[in-house]
């Protein structure tokens, strides 16, 4: 994982030296994403800057990646998990061992960018320049695991960057580049390349997937994403999703240790990491899971004041004012710093499972399989603004890459192709039962059947309660009464939301920046549409899972 910056549509009269310097300075704003090396490419029509976090092929994979003939230049943030198969099917003259170089190879194999981009299984955001054709291609992975923003400067030049902070003050129209899309300057069009039949519930109706097939598909996803040449670990909150990731990773790590003469070395022994307030549910559950899996476990406690002190930097890094994202990003940001200090550069995480399998507690109220399925699709479509944004930017603030096996594209096809009637919860059936059943025996029952606990709750209920109490003191009644006047777009609905919005505006002023953050009421991380499932939702709307009364074991009063 790295960062990219690109400036396109340069004109013959432009001062390339000055624009090169400006591009370097703007890219430097996101250098935390790539502290290992910087690369710059300048041509008559483009400037590309790359800040590298070396995970795969550290010795020769420096970017921008050039073709042997010098015509192609490629800057990528991401990992391509099926690169070996794509290499084997290509006669392209590769110059490095980088997994990302297959993008140049695919470009050379076909003219339709939307067609060849759809062949990539990975997480990525890239900008490719073809000097012979004076053509550029920009694309983002289907789910939006890797962030990407774009906009135009005052002279109309198109700029792209991994994080919004690199474009603030330069592009008045800054916006998120949409996931699953490709922009090709050859036709000037932005097109969706990621199309899946499972988006329509009718295409999944009656379709079953055996427990063995579901388990195998996920194990394969974890195995693919262990592609690394540097020390790695797993995030282990003690919840179902992170514990399943850890269980699969531990199995593959054991195989590597058995084959390795240096079995006692720090790596490839699997290390796991957790964080929470002293005495939090997650810290206790993570210990149980780690003991069962045999990981080398590191549980870190933070105080409420540690989190509160970090809030401004957290919001600056994650580039959002969404309440639940900030609540969860803060402990993750603190954990990433600890992980970085231990020399780990990549971790596996459990994001995406709740969206695929309906794991949030409000899914207990889904009125039908079709409504359930449609909500999972809505949640997947929004992930790039919420959990993917949190996991990526909170970790990359300290140069740690987070990978998300549940969002592996091959596994996604298997899991989302399953008829939602098999995923339904309620009437005594726990959420994500189909996933739990598939992994029977892989984890202690207390972990395998642990109720869904959102990360911002699981770190300790005092975290959210303390944030609400602090906001009551930090935001006056008079300020809050004028919230809609000061913030007409997505006006804050609580003093806590007002506090975060006020901090966000310091770093990201203007309407365009505000519009990169979605809005609308939510209960337990629901989409606004799901509030219609239960009349009580509208009155109890809060992103905490404890807001779902009658379902969460420690629901809010």
**Nearest to residue 131, comparing CAs of 69, 40, 49?**
69
Q: Note whether 404 and 9 are within 8 A (CB).
A: no
**CA 140 to CA 147: how far, in whole Å?**
8
Assigned token pair, 10: 């340069």
Kindly name the residue from 2, 159, 171, 248 that is annotated as catalytic: 2
466 class by beta-carbon count within 10 Å (0-12 exposed, 13-18 middle, 19+ buried): middle
Q: Which residues sit opposite 151 in a β-bridge?
A: 159
Q: Note whether 416 and 196 are within 8 A (CB).
A: yes
**CA 377 to CA 199: how far, in whole Å?**
6
**CA 441 to CA 372: how far, in whole Å?**
28
Say whether the peptide bond before residue 551 is cis (omega within 30 degrees of 0). no
Q: Which helix (H) or strand (E) holds 87?
A: helix 83-88
Say whether the peptide bond before residue 64 is cis (omega within 30 degrees of 0). yes
**CA 275 to CA 292: how far, in whole Å?**
18
Residue in the block written with tokens 């905490």: 544
**CA 527 to CA 295: how far, in whole Å?**
36
Catalytic residue flag (residue 2): yes
Alpha helices in 444-510 (DSSP H): 445-448, 455-458, 461-474, 477-481, 483-486, 495-507
Instruction: List active site positions.
Output: 2
């Amino acid at each position: 994982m790295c960062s990219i910056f690109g400036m396109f549509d340069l004109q013959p009269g432009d001062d390339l030296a000055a624009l090169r310097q400006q591009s370097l300075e703007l890219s430097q704003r996101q250098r935390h994403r790539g502290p290992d090396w910087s690369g710059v490419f300048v041509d008559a029509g483009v400037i590309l800057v790359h800040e590298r976090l070396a995970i795969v092929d550290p010795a020769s994979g420096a970017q921008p990646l050039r073709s042997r003939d010098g015509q192609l230049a490629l800057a990528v943030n991401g990992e391509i998990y099926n690169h070996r198969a794509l290499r084997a099917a290509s006669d392209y003259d590769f110059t490095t061992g980088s997994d990302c170089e297959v993008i140049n190879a695919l470009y050379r194999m076909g003219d339709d960018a939307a067609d060849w981009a759809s062949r990539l299984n990975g997480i990525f955001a890239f900008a490719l320049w073809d000097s012979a054709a004076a053509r550029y291609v920009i694309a983002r992975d289907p789910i939006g695991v890797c962030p990407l923003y774009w906009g135009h400067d005052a002279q109309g030049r198109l700029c792209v960057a991994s994080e919004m902070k690199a474009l603030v003050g330069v592009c008045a129209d800054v916006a998120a580049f949409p996931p699953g899309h490709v922009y090709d300057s050859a036709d000037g069009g932005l097109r969706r390349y990621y199309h899946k039949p499972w988006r329509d519930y009718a295409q999944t109706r009656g379709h079953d997937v055996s427990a063995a097939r579901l388990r195998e598909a996920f194990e394969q996803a974890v195995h693919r994403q262990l592609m690394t040449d540097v020390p790695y670990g797993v995030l282990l909150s003690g919840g179902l999703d992170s514990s399943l990731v850890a269980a699969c990773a531990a199995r593959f790590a054991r195989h590597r240790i058995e084959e390795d003469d240096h079995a006692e070395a720090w790596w490839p022994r699997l290390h796991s990491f957790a964080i929470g307030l002293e005495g939090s549910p997650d810290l206790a559950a993570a210990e149980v899971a780690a003991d069962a899996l045999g990981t080398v476990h590191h549980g870190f406690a933070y105080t409420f004041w540690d989190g509160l002190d970090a809030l401004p930097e957290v919001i600056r890094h994650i580039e959002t004012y969404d309440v639940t994202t900030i609540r969860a990003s803060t402990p993750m940001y603190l954990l990433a710093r600890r992980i970085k200090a231990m020399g780990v550069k990549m971790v596996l995480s459990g994001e995406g499972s709740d969206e695929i399998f309906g794991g949030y507690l409000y899914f207990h109220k889904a009125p039908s399989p079709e409504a359930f399925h449609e909500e999972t699709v809505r949640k997947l479509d929004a992930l790039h603004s919420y959990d993917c944004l949190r996991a990526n930017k909170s970790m990359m603030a300290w140069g740690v890459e987070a990978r998300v096996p549940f969002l592996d594209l091959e596994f996604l096809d298997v899991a989302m192709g399953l008829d939602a009637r098999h995923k339904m919860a309620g009437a005594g059936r726990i959420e994500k039962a189909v996933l739990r059943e598939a992994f029977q025996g892989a984890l202690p029952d207390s972990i395998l059947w642990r109720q869904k606990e959102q990360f911002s709750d699981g770190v300790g209920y005092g975290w959210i309660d303390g944030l609400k109490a602090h906001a009551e003191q930090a935001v006056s009644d008079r300020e809050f009464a004028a919230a809609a006047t000061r913030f007409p777009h997505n006006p804050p609905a609580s003093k806590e939301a007002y506090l975060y919005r006020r901090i966000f505006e310091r770093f990201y002023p203007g309407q365009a920046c505000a519009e990169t953050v979605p809005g609308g009421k939510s209960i337990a991380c629901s989409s606004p549409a799901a509030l219609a499932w239960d009349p009580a939702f509208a009155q109890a709307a809060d992103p905490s899972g404890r807001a779902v009364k009658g379902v969460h074991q420690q629901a809010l009063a």
